[in-house]
A and B are shown apart, each in its own frame.
Chain A
Amino acid sequence: MNHRYSRHIALSEIGIEGQQKLTNARVLVVGAGGLGCPILQYLTAAGIGKIGIIDFDKIEISNLQRQILFDEKTIGENKALIAKKKLERLNGSIEIKAYPEQLTYQNAINYFKEYDIIVDGTDNFETRYLINDAAILTDKPLVYGAIYKFEGQVAVFNYKGGPSYRCLFPSPPKGEAIPNCNDLGVLGVLPGIIGTMQANEVLKIILGFGTVLSGKLLCYDALQMQIHTMILQKSITEINKIKSKREEFSRNKFSNELCNKNAPTIHIKEALLRNNIQLIDVRESHEMPFIKGDNILNISLKELKENLSKIQANKEVMIFCQSGYRSKKAVEILNKEGIYNCWSIEESAIEIANVLADNKLEINNKIDEKI
C-alpha cells in the first residue's frame, strides 16, 4: 500500500495516518456522467476504501466527449457497472459497489446510511433536491457540483451543521424545465474541472485539512477563467422543513413540489378498474423495468409533443414514469395541447410493473372487450 500511495504519504499533511483515513472512508457518488467520471477516477486513485456508484443510465456515443471512464466498446452498457469495471482495473485494493438503478425516495435513505460522504454528479433538479434532502435526513455532508455550458458551481452542503442546497435555492425552478447537457451542449473539459474540484473537497473533508467549501458557492467560468466565491447563509427554516417531513419522505410525497400540483393523480389499481384506458410510459426506452404490452404506449417525455397523434383521445389516458415527476409534466404538456382526460399514476414504475403482472389477464380481457 505504501508504495502505491507514496506521493500522498510523502506529503507531511497526509502521511501514513492520512492515507489510512482515506482507506477507512466510504463515499457514494450519485451519477457516473460528466461529473461522476473524474470524481470516481480520482477517488479510486486516491485509495478511498469504499466507493458506491449509482447510475441507471446507459452509455451513448455522445457521452464519450466528456465521460472519460467509457469507450467505444462500452456503448449501450450501464454506466455504474462499466465504471466499476474500469475503476477496479485502476485500483483492485478498494471496494467498489455499483447500483445500476435510479436513486429514488424509497432507496435514498438506506443507501446514504452506508456511506460517510455523498457526492452529487447528477444532471437534473429532481435528483439534486432528492439528494440534498436525503443528505439532511441522514446527516451526511454533500459535495455538490453542477454545470451549464461553460460555467460550473461547486459547494459543500450540510457539512458540520452548515447550509444546505435549499438554503441557497429553497425550491426547484418554476420556469420551463432547464435542459441538461445532452440537450444543450457542454464544453467537454468543464465537468472534468468541476468534478475534480468536487473530488478535492471530498479529500479535504476526509483528511481534515485546508478549508472545506462549506457555506460558500464557488462559481467557475471557463471562458473568462474566473472564479467567484459567494458566501451563503444557513436557513434553519428550510432545513427544519425537510427534517419535519421525515415520514413523508420514503413515501414519495416530496416530489410533488417539483411539478404541476394541479395534475390529477390516480393509483394504478384504481386506473385499471376504469373501462376505457390507455397507459403511457413516458420514460426513456432503456429505463428499467421494461413495461411492455398491447395497451401500453412507450413515448418518452421529450418526444411526447411530436407523438400526440398516437394518443387515443376517446380513452382515459393514464401516464406513468419512474417516480411520478415526469408523468405530471406529461399531464401538463397534454393539457396545454388540449387533451384533458389524462392522469398521472402515483406509483413508481417498479410498483406498476408488479401490479400489471398480477393483473395481466384482466387487462388483456379489458382491451379485447374494447377492440
Chain B
Amino acid sequence: MKLKIKYFGMLTEITQCTEEEIPLLKGKVQDVIRFLIHKYPLLENRDFKIAQNQIVVSNQATLTSEEIALLPPFSGG
C-alpha cells in the first residue's frame, strides 16, 4: 500500500509534481509532513494545511487515509 500525496499552488514548484506516492506511514499527520520535509527541505519554510481524504485536519490528527493533500494559502486576485 502506498500513500498518495497531492500538492497545490507554489508547493508544486518545490516538489516538481502535482501528486506522487510515498510509502504508507503510520502515526500522525505530522509524521507525513516530517517525511516530506526530509524529501523536500524547502517545504519547511512554507505555510500549508493538510487535508486527509479531502478533510482539512490538524497536524496532530491520526493518519487514517490513503490520500493527503498539501494546501498553501493563495493571496493573488
Contact = CB atoms under 8 A, between A and B. Distances in A.
Contacts of A151: 8-9, 74
21 contacts: A34-B76, A36-B77, A125-B73, A128-B75, A146-B74, A147-B74, A149-B76, A168-B56, A175-B45, A176-B45, A180-B76, A219-B8, A221-B18, A224-B18, A228-B6, A230-B55, A230-B56, A230-B69, A231-B51, A233-B55, A233-B57
B54 interface: yes
Q: Which of B55, B57, B73 is most buried by chain A, counting CB atoms within 10 A of its CB? A: B73
Interface in B16-72: 18, 45-47, 49, 51, 54-57, 69, 71-72
A152 B73 CA distance: 10
Interface stretch (A7-15, A116-124, A247-255, A310-318): A116-124
A134 B76 CA distance: 20
Contact of A173 (B6, B56, B73): B73
A153 B8 CA distance: 10
Contact of A148 (B9, B54, B55, B57): B9
A174 B47 contact: yes
Contacts, number: 90
Which size class do B's interface residues fall under? Answer: 20 to 34
A175 B75 contact: no
Given A121-B77, A178-B75, A231 B56 contact: yes
A95 B76 CA distance: 28
B76 A123 contact: yes
Given A178-B10, A224-B18, A231-B54, A217 B71 contact: yes
Nearest to A169: B73
B73 to A, nearest CB: 5
A232 interface: yes
Interface string A124-161: 11001000000000000000011111011100000000
Closest 4 CB pairs of A and B: A146-B74, A123-B77, A173-B47, A148-B74
A46 B44 CA distance: 45
Interface in A153-202: 153, 168-169, 172-176, 178, 180-181, 184, 186, 191
Nearest to A178: B75
Given A224-B18, A228-B6, A147 B76 contact: yes
Q: Which of A34, A122, A181, A231 is most buried by chain B, counting CB atoms within 10 A of its CB? A: A231
Contacts of B51: 230-231
Nearest to A223: B18
Q: Which of B10, B18, B49, B74 is most buried by chain A, counting CB atoms within 10 A of its CB? A: B74
B76 A181 contact: yes
A231 B77 contact: no
Given A31-B77, A184-B76, A231-B56, A219 B71 contact: yes
Nearest to A128: B75
B77 A35 contact: yes
A2 interface: no
Given A149-B9, A151-B8, A181-B77, 13 more contacts: A33-B77, A34-B77, A123-B76, A125-B73, A148-B10, A148-B72, A148-B74, A169-B47, A175-B47, A217-B56, A221-B8, A224-B18, A228-B54
Contacts of B47: 169, 173-175
B8 A175 contact: no
A152 B74 contact: yes
A36 B46 CA distance: 28
A229 interface: yes
Contacts of A128: 75
